[in-house]
Amino acid sequence: MANLRDLKKEIRKICADLAGECLIARNCIPGVDMNKIDDIIARTADLQEVALGNVSFSFDRLAEDFPSGREYHKARRRYYRKAYASFREKFLGHVTDLVHELNTALPKPARELKCNDTDKA
């Protein structure tokens, strides 16, 4: 991870892209389930708010708790690596669930068309 600011920008971009896809589907695809789309957009906004609030972690131990500075930095790196990996896994899991729900909100002809377009790419 480069820095926290970049991570927050990526979270905002992912959520904005997902909400944008929902709006495009809602406005351009006839027969789409409007209630599901509205629910997905609201849940995407909630996901962004929660993710941005949970993205900051703090290592709760002091350097004095370790026999050496090297051990402290090693434990601190391990903690942050594990915390951000867990955060990333949960966030992407929620995004994947929302994308699957978006696909189920589309009418069957639109889903089949979209699948056929990705097969050609």
Whole-angstrom Cα distance, residue 17 to residue 54?
20
Question: What average pLDDT is seen over the chain?
Answer: 89
Helix (H) or strand (E) holding 118: helix 108-120
Q: What's the pLDDT score for residue 116?
A: 52
pLDDT in tens, 37-48: 999 999 999 999
Q: What's the pLDDT score for residue 115?
A: 53
> The whole model's pTM is what?
0.81
Q: What's the pLDDT score for residue 121?
A: 42
pLDDT bin (cut points 50, 70, 90) of residue 114 is low
Whole-angstrom Cα distance, residue 73 to residue 69?
6
Q: What stretches of the chain adopt beta strand conformation (E)?
A: none
Q: What's the pLDDT score for residue 3?
A: 86
Helix (H) or strand (E) holding 82: helix 69-105
Task: Specify the amino acid at residue 97.
Answer: D
- Say whether pLDDT at 81 is over 50: yes
- Say whether pLDDT at 110 is over 90: no
Paired tokens of 4: 């926290």
- Say whether pLDDT at 28 is over 80: yes
Q: Write b or e for each residue in 47-70: b if 16 or more Cβ atoms lie within 10 A of its Cβ, otherwise e.
A: bbeebeeeeeeeeeeeeeeeeeee
